[in-house]
Amino acid sequence: MNPPGQAWRGRHVGNRPSPQGGAFVSNVPLYALKPVAERLWIVDGPERKSGCLGARLPFPTRMTVARLANGDLWLHCPLKPTETLVRDLDRLGRVRFLIAPNSLHYWWLPEWQALFPRAQAFGAPSLGYCAKRGGFLQHVLSDVAPSVWAMEIGHVVVRGARLTEVGFFHHSSKTLILTDLIENFEIEKVRPWWLRVLLRASRALDRADKAPIDMRLRFARGHSTVRQAVERMIAWDPERLIIAHGRWYPIGAVTELKRAFRWVLRT
């Protein structure tokens, strides 16, 4: 098992930052492992600002942790590491796989690599030349799942002109893990009035009748590719659906997929 804090030198911030004062009501506690299913957890993180429709807007964050049968840990969208989170993960198993599923969710991978030198970083196609930080990516995900976890976690690459994302399926728990392909913000958790207006206009709210505008623009010229990927996700028959931003679905994953992607499934 990785020595907890072998590279810890106090340069990572805090244990659990205050959830007060942000644009969203936080899913407290932050930086805490929350069970989803056997050998599967989520960790809610603080807000970060990201580009959307020409503006930098706040978003809540979330990572997913899977423990493989051999005790190795698989970290999807790793948050900024904190002492508490690293210690809790070390109790679960060995941090071995760091996943950057698209060109927007990769920033903290070098910090995790410093803490766990044996961990391998896997990234979505295009990340290598899109990332603003370089030198951390060791493996580019292809259409074939890496043998080190293929029997337990499958994936599908969703290629677009402006975004390529890899969706994952945790077989034993029947959980689909997406990142930005679905945005699902709950209006009652949004504090600023202007952000509520913007999210409503962009169709990024929970159970909106259409997919968010920014997602449709990013895949405007790739409907057939997205449809094929979504059909594969539906064929997995997932029960749960985890996403990086907003409410995730502990049940009814297929229904949500069909609703969220009706913009491509109908063409």
> Do the beta carbons of residue 43 and residue 15 sit within 8 Å?
no
Residue 90's Cβ-side half-sphere holds a number of Cα atoms within 13 Å equal to 16
Per-residue pLDDT of the chain in tens (267 residues, 90 and over written 9): 444 445 443 333 333 444 456 887 888 899 999 999 999 999 999 988 765 555 667 788 999 999 999 999 999 999 999 999 999 999 999 999 999 998 888 789 999 999 999 999 999 987 755 655 566 778 999 999 999 999 999 999 998 777 789 999 999 999 999 998 888 888 888 888 888 888 888 777 776 556 677 777 777 777 888 899 999 999 999 999 999 988 899 999 999 999 888 888 865
CA–CA gap between residue 237 and residue 254 (Å, rounded)? 6
Q: What is the dihedral of CA 67, 152, 127, 100, to 10 degrees?
A: -20
Vertex 128 angle, CA 124 and 134, to 5°: 125
> Do the beta carbons of residue 238 and residue 248 sit within 8 Å?
no
CA–CA gap between residue 10 and residue 262 (Å, rounded)? 47
Closest CA to 105 of 144, 71, 133: 133
pLDDT at 194: 86
Q: What is the 3-state secondary structure (H, E, C) of 210-255?
A: CCCHHHHHHCCCCHHHHHHHHHHHHHCCCCEEECCCECCECCCHHH
CA–CA gap between residue 224 and residue 228 (Å, rounded)? 6
